[in-house]
A and B are shown apart, each in its own frame.
Chain A
Amino acid sequence: MRVLVSMLAGSLFGAGLLISGMTDTTKVQGWLDVFGNWDPTLAFVMGGAILPMLIAWRMTAHRRPLTGGQFPKMSPPELDRRLIIGSVMFGMGWSLSGLCPGPAIASITYGGLGGLVFLAAMITGMFAAPGLGAQLDRSANAA
């Protein structure tokens, strides 16, 4: 059941990424490029995606997940080095390429060799992340 839910969610996500144009790197870079030919599409995608989720979060108040267990608790509003530095790194890579993890996966069949190289580099970065994160924590403790 959980596997089927995952596949349905992934299918909707993949369809949405394609239809919204978010696998097109020019649209993403266009959104970030406020000094160039600014493209507002991403704001509509974000707004459209947040709407069903506003309802979904409300629905979590008085029920349990369909397949059992608990809904994820909200993390305390603490800003640490990991959140800030990780998000800066992500923003830089996102802007250089026009790809974030979802679209990088969704476009694997039509992104060409460049798309595959991006995906391989992204997975390599994910392998390196625990070590880099621990290094950040150590430098935070030393400071």
Chain B
Amino acid sequence: MYIEWIWGLAGGLLIGLGAAVYLLGNGRIMGASGILGGLVDGSDRTLERLSFIAGVIATPLILSPLLSSAPMTHLTDNFAVIVIAGLLVGAGTRIANGCTSGHGVCGISRFSVRGIIATLIYIGAGGATIALMRHVWGLI
């Protein structure tokens, strides 16, 4: 039976709760690319950004011993793919001004047209990319 969805839903609720705390507490959109990108650009609120990132890194470290198996990312070991993908994700999310958390979680829940369109586009582009790279060309 497929039970992963329970963990998906539980984890999703925590992500949404984090976004709600950030919005109602600080009046800001919880977008991972925006929070990190602001540090890269040297924008204001440096300490807030750093403490958010510290929280994101620390909790998986604290929680992982409680899991039945150690967490794994299963990232490809092809470093060319990793570098190209990283460049595209970094540049793309900053140019589009949002990623899965900002445009996706925060945008869709606000019925933001830009958030919904961005989400449809990155899921569509992602689906097309994996279809071509995996099933047509067999590269990943």
Contacts and interface: CB of A to CB of B under 8 A. Distances in A.
Contacts of A60: 23-24
Interface in B55-80: 55-61, 63-64, 67, 70-77, 79
B83 A117 contact: yes
A71 B30 contact: no
Interface in B1-25: 2, 4-5, 7-25
Given A3-B51, A29-B130, A87 B122 contact: yes
Contacts of B54: 7, 10
A92 interface: yes
B4 to A, nearest CB: 5
Interface residues of A, number: 117
Contacts of B104: 46, 49
A55 interface: yes
B83 A121 contact: yes
Contacts of A94: 85, 89, 100, 122, 126
Contacts of A114: 73, 75-77, 79, 82
Interface in A64-93: 64-72, 74-75, 77-79, 82-93
Most B CB within 10 A of own CB, among A3, A22, A35? A3
Contacts, number: 475
Contact of A89 (B47, B52, B91): B91
Contacts of B113: 77, 79
Nearest to A33: B130
Contact of B127 (A70, A89, A95, A103): A95
Most B CB within 10 A of own CB, among A26, A35, A126? A126
Interface of A: 2-27, 29, 32-36, 39-57, 59-60, 64-72, 74-75, 77-79, 82-112, 114-115, 117-130, 132-133, 136
Given A17-B56, A18-B11, A91-B92, 16 more contacts: A3-B51, A20-B12, A26-B74, A33-B130, A46-B12, A47-B12, A51-B16, A52-B16, A74-B110, A89-B95, A90-B122, A93-B90, A97-B81, A123-B40, A126-B33, A128-B87
7 contacts: A2-B26, A53-B20, A65-B25, A89-B92, A91-B121, A97-B89, A122-B89
Interface of B: 2, 4-5, 7-30, 32-33, 36-37, 40-41, 45, 47-49, 51-61, 63-64, 67, 70-77, 79, 81-97, 99-101, 103-106, 108-110, 112-114, 117-118, 121-127, 129-131, 133-135, 140
